[in-house]
Amino acid sequence: MTVTPIMTKKQDPHVTTTIPTRITLDDVVEAKPLQSVPTTIGNLFVNLLKDWVQESILNGIKVEETFSATKIITKIEELVDIPRLRLLSSQDSAYNSEIAHMEDKLKELSIKALELELKEKEILREEERLRKMREDLMDHKQKLVTTERELRTSPNLKRKEKE
């Protein structure tokens, strides 16, 4: 979207200061629907309106030229809902701060997720260690049972029992 300046300036070769040229309604770009106007441009427009009128008066611009530009600005204000733009701009700021807050929360949750993943890995390692210990214990138990059977069935043990 191209923004057309409200006031253009031309350099006069005989004068060392910049003189604003006269603006007509033909120079004003037709306003688009409110949905297509970015809220920041609306704020910029409102601020430029105040600053330009004050600067024009301070620079000694003719009153007629100031009123001509003011008429153009008024026409633009009629086409663009300035209070709505201000509201959208404040909503935009609120949404930006809400997005920043959500991003911070997301970072916190990501850190928490990493911590939980580390704990999960630690728990899995501990479970694996316990599983191996159980297997070893079962192996030892099986060996013990086998050894006891062998001892009971051994001929030497039977002789000793008879005696």
Res. 73 pLDDT band, cuts 50 70 90:
confident
pLDDT digits (tens, 9 = 90+) for 1-46: 444 444 444 444 444 444 445 555 454 444 444 444 445 555 555 5
Q: Identify the sign of the CA torsion 149, 153, 155, 156.
A: positive
Once rounded to an integer, what is the mean pLDDT over residues 90-101? 86
3-state SS of 108-122? HHHHHHHHHHHHHHH
pTM over 0.85, yes/no: no
What Rg value do the Cα atoms of the chain yield, rounded?
43
Q: Which residues contact 163 (CB under 8 A, 6 or more apart)?
A: none
Q: Which position has the higher pLDDT, 117 or 150?
A: 117
Q: Can you tell me the distance from the alpha carbon of 80 to that of 74, in angstroms, rounded to the nearest whole number?
A: 10
Among 86, 11, 17, 3, smallest CA distance to 55 is for: 17
Q: Which pLDDT belongs to residue 16?
A: 44
